[in-house]
Amino acid sequence: MAVLPIYTYGAPVLREKARPVKRISDDVIQLIMDMFETMHKASGIGLAATQVGRLERVVVIDVSDIEDLKHIPPLTLVNPEIVSTSGSVSMEEGCLSIPEVRNEVDRSQIITVRYKDTNFDDSELEAGGLLARVILHEIDHLNGVLFIDHISTEQRHAHAEELKKIQRGEMEVNYPVVTAVDVAA
Protein backbone atom coordinates (compact mmCIF):
# COMPACT_ATOMS: atom_id res chain seq x y z
CA MET A 1 0.00 0.00 0.00
CA ALA A 2 1.08 3.55 -0.68
CA VAL A 3 0.26 6.95 0.75
CA LEU A 4 -0.92 9.04 -2.18
CA PRO A 5 -0.65 12.83 -2.30
CA ILE A 6 -3.94 14.63 -1.66
CA TYR A 7 -4.85 17.38 -4.11
CA THR A 8 -5.66 20.65 -2.39
CA TYR A 9 -7.96 23.57 -3.08
CA GLY A 10 -7.33 25.14 -6.46
CA ALA A 11 -6.21 21.92 -8.17
CA PRO A 12 -8.49 21.51 -11.23
CA VAL A 13 -9.13 17.78 -10.63
CA LEU A 14 -11.21 18.69 -7.56
CA ARG A 15 -13.74 20.39 -9.84
CA GLU A 16 -14.04 17.50 -12.31
CA LYS A 17 -16.76 14.87 -12.27
CA ALA A 18 -15.56 11.31 -11.72
CA ARG A 19 -16.52 8.52 -14.13
CA PRO A 20 -18.32 5.32 -13.10
CA VAL A 21 -16.17 2.27 -12.46
CA LYS A 22 -17.01 -0.45 -15.01
CA ARG A 23 -15.57 -3.38 -13.04
CA ILE A 24 -13.40 -4.14 -10.04
CA SER A 25 -9.91 -4.63 -11.43
CA ASP A 26 -6.60 -5.12 -9.63
CA ASP A 27 -5.96 -1.42 -10.30
CA VAL A 28 -9.22 -0.41 -8.57
CA ILE A 29 -8.46 -2.70 -5.59
CA GLN A 30 -4.99 -1.14 -5.32
CA LEU A 31 -6.56 2.33 -5.50
CA ILE A 32 -8.95 1.44 -2.67
CA MET A 33 -6.16 0.08 -0.46
CA ASP A 34 -3.99 3.13 -1.18
CA MET A 35 -6.92 5.45 -0.43
CA PHE A 36 -7.46 3.83 2.98
CA GLU A 37 -3.74 4.13 3.73
CA THR A 38 -3.75 7.78 2.62
CA MET A 39 -6.89 8.65 4.59
CA HIS A 40 -5.51 7.07 7.77
CA LYS A 41 -2.11 8.81 7.35
CA ALA A 42 -3.94 12.14 7.03
CA SER A 43 -6.20 11.35 10.04
CA GLY A 44 -9.28 11.66 7.85
CA ILE A 45 -12.58 9.80 8.06
CA GLY A 46 -13.47 9.90 4.36
CA LEU A 47 -11.67 10.22 1.03
CA ALA A 48 -12.84 10.36 -2.58
CA ALA A 49 -10.73 9.20 -5.52
CA THR A 50 -10.77 12.70 -7.02
CA GLN A 51 -8.88 13.92 -3.95
CA VAL A 52 -5.95 11.70 -4.97
CA GLY A 53 -6.19 12.74 -8.61
CA ARG A 54 -8.21 9.78 -9.91
CA LEU A 55 -11.45 10.43 -11.78
CA GLU A 56 -13.15 7.21 -10.68
CA ARG A 57 -16.32 7.02 -8.59
CA VAL A 58 -14.71 5.47 -5.51
CA VAL A 59 -15.09 6.57 -1.88
CA VAL A 60 -13.55 5.14 1.29
CA ILE A 61 -14.85 5.90 4.78
CA ASP A 62 -13.66 4.89 8.24
CA VAL A 63 -15.44 6.40 11.24
CA SER A 64 -14.48 3.57 13.63
CA ASP A 65 -12.18 5.83 15.69
CA ILE A 66 -15.18 7.93 16.73
CA GLU A 67 -16.62 6.70 20.04
CA ASP A 68 -20.29 6.47 19.02
CA LEU A 69 -19.43 4.92 15.63
CA LYS A 70 -16.92 2.20 16.61
CA HIS A 71 -19.44 -0.45 15.49
CA ILE A 72 -19.37 0.75 11.87
CA PRO A 73 -16.75 -1.10 9.82
CA PRO A 74 -14.68 0.72 7.18
CA LEU A 75 -16.72 1.24 4.00
CA THR A 76 -15.85 1.29 0.32
CA LEU A 77 -18.51 2.78 -1.95
CA VAL A 78 -18.04 2.27 -5.68
CA ASN A 79 -20.35 4.26 -7.98
CA PRO A 80 -22.37 5.61 -5.02
CA GLU A 81 -25.62 7.45 -5.59
CA ILE A 82 -28.02 8.99 -3.09
CA VAL A 83 -31.51 7.53 -3.53
CA SER A 84 -33.30 9.34 -0.68
CA THR A 85 -32.74 12.00 1.94
CA SER A 86 -34.68 13.39 4.88
CA GLY A 87 -34.26 16.01 7.53
CA SER A 88 -31.57 18.62 7.76
CA VAL A 89 -28.86 19.32 10.29
CA SER A 90 -26.02 21.83 10.49
CA MET A 91 -22.58 20.72 11.61
CA GLU A 92 -19.02 21.91 11.27
CA GLU A 93 -17.11 20.33 8.40
CA GLY A 94 -13.54 20.29 7.23
CA CYS A 95 -11.75 18.60 4.34
CA LEU A 96 -8.33 17.09 3.73
CA SER A 97 -8.23 19.00 0.43
CA ILE A 98 -8.96 22.31 2.20
CA PRO A 99 -6.77 22.01 5.30
CA GLU A 100 -7.30 24.38 8.23
CA VAL A 101 -10.69 25.62 6.94
CA ARG A 102 -13.81 24.61 8.81
CA ASN A 103 -17.38 25.87 8.55
CA GLU A 104 -20.94 24.95 9.48
CA VAL A 105 -22.69 23.16 6.59
CA ASP A 106 -26.35 22.11 6.30
CA ARG A 107 -26.79 18.55 5.06
CA SER A 108 -29.49 15.89 5.09
CA GLN A 109 -29.84 14.13 8.43
CA ILE A 110 -30.73 10.70 7.05
CA ILE A 111 -29.81 9.28 3.65
CA THR A 112 -30.05 6.09 1.66
CA VAL A 113 -27.13 5.41 -0.64
CA ARG A 114 -26.91 2.75 -3.35
CA TYR A 115 -23.44 1.58 -4.41
CA LYS A 116 -21.30 -1.33 -5.54
CA ASP A 117 -19.12 -3.05 -2.95
CA THR A 118 -15.60 -4.35 -3.56
CA ASN A 119 -17.05 -7.51 -5.14
CA PHE A 120 -19.02 -5.21 -7.48
CA ASP A 121 -22.26 -6.44 -5.91
CA ASP A 122 -25.15 -4.01 -5.46
CA SER A 123 -25.52 -2.70 -1.92
CA GLU A 124 -27.68 -0.17 -0.17
CA LEU A 125 -27.15 1.57 3.15
CA GLU A 126 -29.29 3.87 5.26
CA ALA A 127 -27.15 6.24 7.29
CA GLY A 128 -27.76 9.11 9.67
CA GLY A 129 -25.79 11.71 11.55
CA LEU A 130 -22.06 11.94 10.97
CA LEU A 131 -21.92 8.87 8.69
CA ALA A 132 -24.56 10.40 6.39
CA ARG A 133 -22.61 13.68 6.38
CA VAL A 134 -19.34 11.95 5.44
CA ILE A 135 -21.02 10.00 2.62
CA LEU A 136 -22.64 13.18 1.23
CA HIS A 137 -19.36 15.11 1.52
CA GLU A 138 -17.42 12.42 -0.37
CA ILE A 139 -20.06 11.97 -3.08
CA ASP A 140 -19.93 15.75 -3.56
CA HIS A 141 -16.21 15.35 -4.29
CA LEU A 142 -17.03 12.81 -7.01
CA ASN A 143 -19.23 15.48 -8.59
CA GLY A 144 -16.65 18.27 -8.39
CA VAL A 145 -18.35 19.95 -5.42
CA LEU A 146 -16.48 21.12 -2.31
CA PHE A 147 -17.99 21.69 1.13
CA ILE A 148 -17.31 25.42 0.81
CA ASP A 149 -19.74 25.46 -2.13
CA HIS A 150 -22.51 24.86 0.45
CA ILE A 151 -21.75 27.94 2.55
CA SER A 152 -22.90 31.53 2.07
CA THR A 153 -20.96 34.07 0.05
CA GLU A 154 -20.22 35.96 3.27
CA GLN A 155 -18.84 32.85 4.97
CA ARG A 156 -16.75 32.00 1.93
CA HIS A 157 -15.43 35.56 1.82
CA ALA A 158 -14.38 35.17 5.47
CA HIS A 159 -12.19 32.22 4.39
CA ALA A 160 -10.78 34.00 1.31
CA GLU A 161 -7.28 34.57 2.70
CA GLU A 162 -7.02 30.98 3.98
CA LEU A 163 -8.13 29.66 0.59
CA LYS A 164 -5.55 31.82 -1.22
CA LYS A 165 -2.82 30.45 1.07
CA ILE A 166 -3.90 26.88 0.30
CA GLN A 167 -3.80 27.65 -3.44
CA ARG A 168 -0.25 28.95 -3.01
CA GLY A 169 0.73 25.87 -1.00
CA GLU A 170 1.19 27.83 2.20
CA MET A 171 -0.21 25.39 4.73
CA GLU A 172 1.12 22.93 7.27
CA VAL A 173 -0.11 19.35 6.94
CA ASN A 174 1.33 15.98 7.96
CA TYR A 175 0.53 14.26 4.66
CA PRO A 176 1.76 14.64 1.08
CA VAL A 177 -0.18 17.10 -1.08
CA VAL A 178 -0.37 18.35 -4.64
CA THR A 179 -1.18 22.06 -4.65
CA ALA A 180 -2.57 24.31 -7.37
CA VAL A 181 0.99 25.68 -7.76
CA ASP A 182 2.34 22.13 -8.30
CA VAL A 183 -0.29 21.43 -10.97
CA ALA A 184 0.43 24.71 -12.78
CA ALA A 185 4.21 24.10 -12.81
Q: Which residues are catalytic?
A: 138
**Which residue in 71, 47, 64 sits closest to 142, CA to CA?**
47
Distance CA 10, CA 149 (A): 13
CB 143 within 8 A of CB 113: no
Q: List, in sequence order, every residue forming a beta bridge with 116; answer none if it has no partner.
A: 78, 122
Distance CA 22, CA 7 (A): 24
Amino acid at 14: L
Distance CA 78, CA 57 (A): 6
